[in-house]
Amino acid sequence: MKPVSIPMTQPSPCKTTHGRLYGAGQMAIVFSNMDTNDQSEWDPVVNALLSDRYMILTYDYLEHIEDQSRTLEDAVSFIIEAGAKRIILVGASRGGVASIKAAARNSNNDSIVGVVALSAPIEYEGTIFYHHRELSGIKIPKLLINSEDDDGAKDTRKMFDLFEAPKELLFCPGDAHGTELFHKERESILQKLRGFAESVFAAYALD
């Protein structure tokens, strides 16, 4: 693991944010935090996926705002500069929203080739994060993960219906939210993530 400073292009008093860069290679995964803004919540998954020889980036949000997708896009630009050619976005809760919005815009030279969202809502407290056209317009492979009794489970099902193929859905028992799912469902989620990443990256194999 290498601590890194990620340059920010969005308006902010801070010019950089802190991240952790793991591994090396042309296939990369970028993890986006929940509201807790705690990179260490991804450790159980990061440590396992490193054995699959992916470059991995986690990072901090600069401030508490609803839409973190611009910060994520700066993180994606950073990992592209570090050598990544194909990138999967993985986010939990607010980070899932950011990942889906970034995938919908896909402003990083088509480097984003897959997106995974854990417990990502469509709307929260009156704020609608994306509309039907944005969701149906995401053509890359998509994986939605949530618990059956999470407050956002209804949004997860609706989002899955709005997505066009290729798409996958995993519901776990209980009411865990976001990275809390790893506490009891780590192995099943990790197996799903690994299969998704292998399938997506295989379709974009580089010479």
* Tens digits of residue pLDDT in 136-171: 999 999 999 999 999 999 999 999 999 999 999 999
Tokens of 72: 């994520």
Q: Give residue 109's region: left, alpha or beta (phi > 0; psi -120 to 50).
A: left
DSSP-derived 3-state class of residue 166:
coil
Asked if pLDDT for residue 75 goes beyond 60, the answer is yes
Q: Where along the chain do its domains lie? A: 2-203
Interacting residues of 48 by C-beta distance below 8 A, sequence separation 6+: 190, 194
Tokens of 81: 């500069």
Residue type, 10: Q
Q: How confident is the model at residue 51 (pLDDT cuts 50, 70, 90)?
A: confident
Tokens of 168: 């996958």
Residues present in the chain in total: 207
User: How does pLDDT run across 83-126, given as a tens digit for each residue?
Assistant: 999 999 999 999 999 999 999 997 656 899 999 999 999 998 88
| Domain 2-203: which CATH number of 3.40.47.10, 3.40.50.1820, 1.10.1740.10, 3.30.70.2860 | 3.40.50.1820
At 107 the pLDDT is 60
82 vs 67, which has greater pLDDT? 82
Asked if pLDDT for residue 68 goes beyond 60, the answer is yes
At 207 the pLDDT is 43
End-to-end CA separation in angstroms for the chain = 26
pTM for this structure?
0.95
Asked if pLDDT for residue 45 goes beyond 60, the answer is yes
66 to 10, 125, 167: CA distances (angstroms) = 14, 11, 25
138 vs 64, which has greater pLDDT? 138
User: How does pLDDT run across 2-42, given as a tens digit for each residue?
Assistant: 999 999 987 767 789 999 999 999 999 999 999 999 999 99
CA–CA dist 205, 207 (Å, integer): 7
Q: Give residue 117's region: left, alpha or beta (phi > 0; psi -120 to 50).
A: beta
At 82 the pLDDT is 96
